[in-house]
Structure 1
Amino acid sequence: MRSTMPTPHLHLLLPFALPSAAEAPTALYRLAHPALDRLVARARLSEAVTGEDFQRTLPHERWLARRFGLVAPDASDAAPLAPYMLLADGGTPGEQVWACVQPVHVRIAHDHLVLIDPASLELSDAEARALLEVARPLVEELGVQLEAPQPSRWYLSSERFGALAGASPLRASGRNIEIWLPHEAHSGERSRAWMKLQNEVQMSWFEHPVNEAREARGLPAVNSLWFHAPGKMRALSQSLGQPFTHVLSLAPATRGLAIAAQAQTGAPPQSFEALATTTTPTAPTTSASPTTPATHTTLVELDPFSTPYVEQDWGRWNSAFAALERDWFAPALAALQNGQLRELGLTLCSDTGSVTLTLTRHDLRKFWRRRALASLFIE
Structure 2
Amino acid sequence: MPPIMHANRLHLLLPFALPTAADAPSELHSLRAPALDKLLARATLVERVAGEDFQRTLPHERWVARQFGALADAAASSAADEAPLAPYMMLADGADPGEAVWACVEPVHLRVAHDHLILLDPASLELQDEEAFALFDIARPLVEELGIRIEAPRPGRWYVSGEALGSLAGASPLRASGRSVEIWLPHDARTGQRSRAWMKLQNEVQMAWFEHPINEAREARGLPAINSLWLHAQGARQSVRSPFARVFSNAAATRGLALAAGVAASAPPSSYERLPAAANPAAAGLAGGGATLVELEAFAAPFIAQDWPGWSHALTELEQAWFAPALAALEGGDIGSLVLTLCGDTASVTLAAGRGDLRRFWRRRVLASLFE
Confirm whether residue 266 of structure 1 aligns to residue 260 of structure 2. Answer: no
In structure 1, the residue corresponding to 2:326 is in which secondary structure?
Answer: helix
Which amino acid is 1:178 matched to? Answer: E
Describe the shift of the 1:279–1:34 C-alpha distance in structure 2 as closer, same or farther (beyond 3 A): closer
Partner of 2:47: 47
* Counterparts of 1:26 and 1:278, CA distance in 2: 41
Matched, 1:226 2:230: yes
- Find the aligned partners of 2:119 and 2:351 in 1 and give their Cα distance: 33
Task: Report if aligned partners of 1:105, 1:223 keep a CA contact under 8 Å in 2.
Answer: yes
TM-score by length of 2: 0.92
Code of the aligned partner of 2:68: F
Match of 2:11? Answer: 11
Contact 1:82–1:228 (CA<8 Å) still a contact in 2?
Answer: yes
Aligned equivalent of 1:327, options 300, 316, 321: 321
User: Which residue of the partner structure matches residue 177 of structure 2?
Assistant: 173
Provide, for residues 67-89 of structure 1, a one-character-per-residue CA deviation record: whole Å limited to 9, x for no partner.
11111102322410000000000
1:118 aligned to 112, 116, 122, which one? Answer: 122
Task: Give the structure 1 partner of residue 37 of structure 2.
Answer: 37
| Alignment partner, residue 346 of structure 1 | 340
- Matching residue of 2:366: 372
Which residue matches 1:183?
187
> Are the counterparts in 2 of residues 36 and 329 from structure 1 also a CA contact under 8 Å?
yes
Partner AA of 2:42 in structure 1: R
Gaps of 5+ in 2: 281-288
What residue number does 2:133 align with?
Answer: 129
Q: Which residue of 2 aligns with 1:61?
A: 61
| Number of residue pairs matched by the alignment | 355
Aligned match of 1:247: 247
Structure 2 counterpart of 1:265, which letter? A
CA contact 1:104–1:222 (8 Å) conserved in 2: yes
Of residues 333, 336, 339 in structure 1, which corresponds to 2:330?
A: 336
Q: Secondary structure at the match of 1:17?
A: strand
After TM superposition, give the deviation of residue 25 of structure 1 in Å: 3.8
Q: 1:279 Cα deviation (Å)? A: 9.2
CA drift of 1:159 comes to: 1.2
User: Does 1:202 pair with 2:186?
Assistant: no
Whole-angstrom distance in 2 between the partners of 1:350 and 1:80: 20
1:102-117 equivalences under 5 Å are 102-117=106-121
Distance in 2 between residues matched to 1:346 and 1:251, nearest whole Å: 17
Query: Percent sequence identity over matched residues?
Result: 65
Contact 1:27/1:317 (<8 A) preserved: no
CA RMSD of superposed structures (Å): 1.7
Map 1:156-171; keep pairs closer than 5 Å. 156-171=160-175
In structure 2, the CA distance between the partners of 1:191 and 1:27, relative to structure 1 (3 Å rule), is: farther
Distance in 2 of aligned mates of 1:189 and 1:276: 49
CA drift of 1:97 comes to 0.4
Answer yes or no: is the 8 Å Cα contact 1:164–1:191 preserved in 2. yes
Q: CA deviation at 1:24?
A: 3.3
1:326 deviates by 1.0
CA distance in 1, matches of 2:72, 2:153: 30
Whole-Å Cα distance in 2 between the matches of residues 99 and 124 of structure 1? 22
Contact 1:40 1:373 (8 Å CA) reproduced: yes
Instruction: Quote the Cα distance in structure 2 between the aligned partners of 1:26 and 1:147.
Output: 46
**Local SS of the residue matching 1:325:** helix
In the TM superposition, 1:66-145 aligns within 5 A as: 66-73=66-73, 74-75=76-77, 76-77=79-80, 78-145=82-149
CA distance in 2, matches of 1:71, 1:250: 21
Contact 2:25 2:308 in 1 (8 A): no
Deviation at 1:27, TM superposition (A): 5.7
Counterpart-to-counterpart distance in 2, 1:20 and 1:318:
15
Asked whether the equivalents of residues 250 and 267 of structure 1 are also in contact (C-alpha less than 8 Å), the reply is: yes
**Any idea what SS the aligned residue of 2:275 has?**
helix
In structure 2, the partner of 1:357 is 351
Determine if contact 2:30/2:368 at 8 Å carries over to the other structure.
Answer: no
- Residue by residue over 1:228-247, the C-alpha shift from the partner in whole angstroms, topping out at 9 and shown as x without a partner, is 000000001x5xxx621100
Q: Distance in 2 between matches of 1:162 and 1:298?
A: 38
Asked if the contact 1:173–1:310 (Cα under 8 Å) also holds between the matched residues in 2, the reply is yes
Q: Compute the displacement of 1:368 (Å).
A: 2.4
Unaligned ranges ≥5, structure 1: 281-294
